[in-house]
Amino acid sequence: MKKIYLSIIIKIIAIISSIYGMIFAYRGIISFTYFTILSNIFSISMLGVFLYKDIKKLKNKEITFNKNIYLLKFLSTLSITITFLVFLTIIAPTYPDGFIGAYLNKKYYTSLFVHIVVPVLSIIDFLYFNNEYKPEKKHALYAMIPPFIYIIYIYALELLGVIWEGGMHAPYNFINYHTEVGFFGFDLSTMGWNSLGIGVFYNIIILSLIFYGIGLLLLKLKQVIEKKSK
């Protein structure tokens, strides 16, 4: 019984934190082009679904979900984990206000909530609760689906003339090909807020492999944790 109460508390905190962060980070319709916002929406939507399941279980009313719902929960966790890691390792280190500033200089610390608090709680929730999900190794391949859909979405908007903060042709520097290195160049001296100094093509390949690795790691951790809890 304690476990289900903890599951409910974690989900509620994550949902409130995400909504808080997104409200104060909102800058109009352009906000819905950022992977952070989209992954937060995806994550709390699935957390909400499983929160409902937990509450029903607390009232001794079990709900059985289709296995695809559990797979969507896995994908939402992957997406928010990608948000956490990409911001931590790529965006924050190249942020104009510095690494700490990337998290704390935003209004009301919204970046801290959507990039750290929500991802960490979502990962904990996936690993320790809702154990009806049975991980399969092939599911890790699905880790690349959300990022690729997102990149196609962004480039479609860019072709339609959408411009992002600072005049960039993408919301993030690692997929911004309007730089000296473009798609296939390599020049680390150009690394900055609008470019990693590495061609976008290579960034996508590297990140795809990393995402696959993250998927494998999450699945393995869940299997290990479930075995120990039995």
pLDDT digits (tens, 9 = 90+) for 9-34: 999 999 999 999 999 888 889 999 99
By the 8 A CB rule, do 87 and 115 touch?
A: yes
In the chain, domain spans: 2-229
Residues of the chain with pLDDT under 50: none
pLDDT digits (tens, 9 = 90+) for 140-166: 888 788 888 999 999 999 999 999 988
The one-letter amino acid at 155: Y
Tell me, what's the pLDDT at 170? 92
By the 8 A CB rule, do 100 and 229 touch?
A: no
DSSP label at 195?
Answer: B
Tell me, what's the pLDDT at 107? 67
Contacts 24+ apart (CB under 8 A), 169-176: 171/33, 171/34, 171/35, 172/35, 172/86, 172/90, 172/91, 173/90, 173/91, 173/94, 174/86, 174/90, 174/198, 174/200, 174/203, 174/207, 175/151, 175/200, 175/203, 175/204, 176/200
